[in-house]
């Protein structure tokens, strides 16, 4: 059993779009994470609290919430590191519709993923030989640097352009498009370039870099999107896509 150090006051968002922050007091424990705190409230204080989690160890991306103003993975955020003056404020992710309490509707996030053509388009069949991809080729290295996205939504919640521009596809969707653009095996890159060059595509990004600052996987969507800007501009000037 880990010892109780003192008490922590937490405010949790209750409700949907209309709602309020409700205060709870929970015991503070060593190595406690924000997810531990939310779980404690739901199990011991208020069973009507709604929230999402799955793996609890930072590999699934389900538990992202707004903690003291920043979107983070709650299972990998130590209370000791973020509780200023012994207080925590936890709310649902921004830029998404709140379903209830700390759970948001991720549907638009995934729809934009599809809109950005974030799905692999095969170019071969099982009868063909397996593609030989060199892991140290520049394209593969570019793809590998951006591939570890687990769709947690932190970048999307952090992005002000998402907030201000309803059409903007967002950093995660565009990053995935960038990895596929760099995948030699993919056959859908003309359509993909057209998709990310459309209204709300990569050109809407103003390089605020909140995504890059906050990505828990240390990905750099700003750089991936800059790559998309270069590729779409080149394609447009060559007449391969329409503007």
Half-sphere exposure of 184 (CA within 13 A, CB side): 11
Q: Which long-range contacts (CB under 8 A, 24 or more apart) does 158-162 make?
A: 158/70, 158/71, 158/94, 158/210, 158/211, 158/213, 158/214, 159/95, 159/208, 159/210, 159/211, 160/208, 160/210, 161/204, 161/205, 161/206, 161/208, 162/95
In the complex with other proteins, which residue's Cβ is closer, 29 or 216?
216
Residue-by-residue DSSP string for 9-68: EEEEEEESSSEEEEEEEEEEETT-BHHHHHHHIIIII-TT-----SSSSSSS-TTEEEET
For other proteins, the closer of residues 123 and 165 by Cβ is 165
Q: Is 87 helix (H, G, I), strand (E, B) or coil?
A: strand
Interface segment toward other proteins; rule CB under 8 A; list 40-48, 128-136, 159-167, 179-187: 159-167
Q: Which residues pair with 13 in a beta bridge?
A: 21
- Considering the complex, what minimum distance in angstroms separates the CB of residue 12 from other proteins? 12
Of 60 and 233, nearer to other proteins (C-beta) is 233
- What residues from 73 to 102 belong to the interface with other proteins (CB under 8 A)? 89, 91, 94
Q: Could you say whether residue 51 binds other proteins (CB under 8 A)?
A: no
Only segment of 52-60, 105-113, 115-123, 222-230 that touches other proteins (CB under 8 A): 222-230
Return the number of the residue (77 or 220) whose C-beta is nearest other proteins. Answer: 220
By CB under 8 A, residue 140 contacts other proteins: no
Given 60, 209, 217, 240, the residue binding other proteins (CB under 8 A): 209
Q: Please give the residue ranges that form the binding site for other proteins (CB under 8 A).
A: 13, 21, 66, 68-71, 89, 91, 94, 158, 160-161, 164-165, 197, 199, 203, 206-210, 213-214, 220, 222-223, 226, 229-230, 232-233, 236-237, 241-243
């Amino acid at each position: 059993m880990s010892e109780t150090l003192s008490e922590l006051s937490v405010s949790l968002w209750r409700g949907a779009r209309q709602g309020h922050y409700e205060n709870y007091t929970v015991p503070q424990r060593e190595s406690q994470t924000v997810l531990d705190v939310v779980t404690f409230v739901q199990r011991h204080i208020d069973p009507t609290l709604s929230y999402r989690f799955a793996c609890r160890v930072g590999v699934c991306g389900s538990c992202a919430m707004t903690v003291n103003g920043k979107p983070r993975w709650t299972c990998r955020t130590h209370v000791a590191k973020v509780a200023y003056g012994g207080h925590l404020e936890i709310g649902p992710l921004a830029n998404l519709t709140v379903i209830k309490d700390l759970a948001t509707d991720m549907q638009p996030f995934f729809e934009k993923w599809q809109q950005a053509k974030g799905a692999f388009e095969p170019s071969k069949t099982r009868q063909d030989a397996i593609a030989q991809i060199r892991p140290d080729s520049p394209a593969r290295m570019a793809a590998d640097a951006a591939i570890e996205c687990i769709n947690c939504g932190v970048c999307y919640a952090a992005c002000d352009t998402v907030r201000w521009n309803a059409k903007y596809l967002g950093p995660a969707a565009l990053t995935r498009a960038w990895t596929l653009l760099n995948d030699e095996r993919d056959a859908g890159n003309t359509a993909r370039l057209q998709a990310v060059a459309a209204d709300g595509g990569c050109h809407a990004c103003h390089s605020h870099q909140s995504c890059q600052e906050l990505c828990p996987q240390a990905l750099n969507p700003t750089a991936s999107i800059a790559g998309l800007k270069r590729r779409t501009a080149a394609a447009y000037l060559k007449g391969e896509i329409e503007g």
